[in-house]
């Protein structure tokens, strides 16, 4: 049996101002297309060995009320899977789960599609699959509205004998800060439930593909949703289940490149900073990329004097360019006030441009530097 484990597609997410030729937000379309690539892979695996099932571990949608376009997109992809008889179990994540039951859940839309199993009622559900050789039980707990409900569901979990047991959850892991995203309604899974009685635990929520336990993995998201994820490779997990053994492979979704680089502006004037940014843009060949430069130790004045219009022109092929100023103590303005070495240089520079004879300059310099030295001591 071959299974795809994916999560955090965040359909409906959009960002920045670039639009496609048809007028849609480019990042929104990127996110749709990343999910399409997962479905394309399932329908047409490169090695020709068929996929039986997709497990989606939550945050299919970016919000509780996705746009009509996002819903239609998901529905179309699910129909493609349904027609190809590829099963799908999709659990609700914190992004798409309403706080109030009255709001109603967008996953209801998928209730009656053959072979598509949405799990969104705040309750533990089980699904059995068999391809003749292997028996699989998928144990699914969707995002619960509170930690107590989650715990109640976790306590009900019971792996089945004589079958391969796969557990699907969405959330961070209690006691492991690195897997938290800081969302207000983030669910935290106590580690004792991520135990060895499961053949595989398919996690969603944390956007980086990572092993939490030898049998528990975050698949990673299918696209990048912030500069914090710039270094991470989006993708999904391709699982192979044969005679009680499991093999696992990460498949990248080839998401749009996202780059974030620091620039130390401490000793640079606005023109030099502008030029340096332009040079960096050429070096990374900005076409189609999402780019951020973190301007370390820049002064407010320097930041205001950067030639933004020029940078906008030279980065017009990038999908997005942003500058993040970090006004710091090491900025030139701060240095000139605190560093005597620099004051000396400035004094010399000032003297040199005075309209007096070089003999007078020499005398003035000597006196001024003497006073400066006294003050320093
Ligand atoms: Mn999430």
CA of 9 to the centre of ligand 1 (A): 10
Check whether residue 81 and residue 174 sit in a common domain.
Answer: yes
Specify whether the CB–CB gap between 188 and 147 falls below 8 A: yes
- What separation in Å is there between the alpha carbon of 143 and the centre of ligand 1? 9
Give 355 Cα–ligand 1 centroid separation in angstroms: 67
What is the share, in percent, of the chain residues with pLDDT greater than 70? Answer: 94
Please tell me the distance between residue 155's alpha carbon and the centre of ligand 1 in angstroms.
22
Q: How far is the CA of 185 from the centre of ligand 1 (A)?
A: 9
The residue among 252, 269, 290 that closes a domain is 252
pLDDT tens-digit readout, 186-195? 999 999 999 9
Same domain flag for 38 and 62: yes
- Ligand 1 centre distance from Cα of residue 207 (Å): 8
Average pLDDT score over residue span 41-68: 97
Out of 223, 252, 281, a domain closes at 252
Identify the CATH number of the domain in which residue 205 sits: 3.60.21.10
Are 295 and 153 members of one domain?
no
Residues 232 and 364 in one domain: no
Q: Are residues 59 and 182 located together in one domain of the fold?
A: yes
As for how many domains the chain has, the answer is 3
193 lies in the same domain as 66? yes
pLDDT digits (tens, 9 = 90+) for 115-140: 999 999 999 999 999 988 899 999 99
Q: How far is the CA of 371 from the centre of ligand 1 (A)?
A: 63
Distance from Cα 86 to the centre of ligand 1, integer Å: 25
For residue 340, name the pLDDT band (cuts at 50, 70, 90): very low
Tens digit of pLDDT for each residue in 250-265?
999 999 999 999 999 9
Q: Are 80 and 74 in contact (CB under 8 A)?
A: no
CA of 360 to the centre of ligand 1 (A): 72
Domain identity same for 207 and 322: no
Centre of ligand 1 to C-alpha 147, Å, is 15
Ligand 1 centroid to residue 305 C-alpha, Å: 40
Residue that terminates a domain, selected from 199, 218, 252 = 252
If asked whether residues 278 and 235 sit together in one domain, one would say no
Q: Cα of 121 to ligand 1 centre, how many Å?
A: 17
pLDDT at 332: 53
Q: How far is the CA of 306 from the centre of ligand 1 (A)?
A: 37
Edge-first strand listing for the sheet containing 125-130: 125-130, 135-140, 164-170, 200-204, 216-218, 210-213
Is-contact 193 158, C-beta < 8 A?
Answer: no
Whole domain around residue 120: which residue ranges? 2-252
Say if residue 317 is in the same domain as residue 240.
no
Biggest distance spanned by C-alpha atoms of the chain: 101
């Amino acid at each position: 049996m071959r299974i795809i484990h994916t999560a955090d597609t965040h359909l409906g997410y959009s960002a920045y101002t670039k639009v496609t030729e048809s007028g849609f937000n480019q990042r929104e379309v990127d996110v749709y297309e990343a999910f399409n690539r997962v479905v394309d892979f399932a329908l047409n695996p490169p090695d020709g060995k068929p996929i039986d099932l997709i497990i989606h571990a939550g945050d299919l949608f970016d919000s509780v009320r996705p746009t009509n376009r996002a819903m239609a997109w998901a529905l179309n992809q699910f129909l493609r899977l349904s027609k190809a008889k590829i099963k799908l179990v999709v659990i609700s994540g914190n992004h798409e789960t309403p706080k109030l039951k009255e709001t109603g859940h967008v996953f209801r839309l998928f209730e009656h599609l053959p072979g598509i199993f949405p799990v969104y009622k705040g309750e533990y559900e089980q699904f059995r699959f068999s391809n003749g050789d292997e028996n699989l039980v998928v144990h699914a707990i969707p995002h619960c509205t509170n930690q107590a409900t989650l715990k109640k569901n976790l306590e009900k979990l019971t792996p089945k004998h004589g079958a391969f047991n796969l557990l699907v959850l969405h959330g961070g892991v209690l006691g492991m800060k690195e897997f938290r995203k800081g969302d207000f309604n983030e669910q935290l899974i106590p580690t004792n439930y991520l135990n060895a009685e499961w053949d595989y635990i398919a996690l969603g929520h944390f956007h980086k593909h990572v092993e939490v336990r030898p049998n528990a993995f975050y698949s990673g998201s299918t696209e990048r949703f912030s500069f914090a994820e710039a270094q991470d490779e989006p993708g999904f997990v391709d699982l192979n289940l044969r005679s009680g053994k499991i093999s696992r492979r990460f498949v990248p979704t080839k998401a749009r490149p996202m780059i974030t680089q620091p620039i130390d502006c401490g000793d640079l004037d606005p023109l030099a900073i502008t030029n340096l940014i332009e040079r960096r843009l050429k070096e990374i060949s900005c076409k189609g990329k999402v780019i951020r430069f973190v301007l370390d130790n820049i002064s407010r004045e320097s930041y205001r004097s950067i030639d933004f219009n020029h940078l906008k022109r030279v980065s017009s092929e990038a999908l997005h360019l942003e500058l993040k100023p970090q006004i710091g103590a090491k900025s030139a303005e701060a240095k000139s006030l605190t560093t005597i070495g620099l004051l000396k240089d400035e004094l010399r520079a000032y003297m040199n441009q005075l309209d007096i004879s070089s003999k007078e300059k020499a005398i003035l310099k000597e006196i001024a530097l003497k006073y400066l030295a006294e003050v320093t001591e």
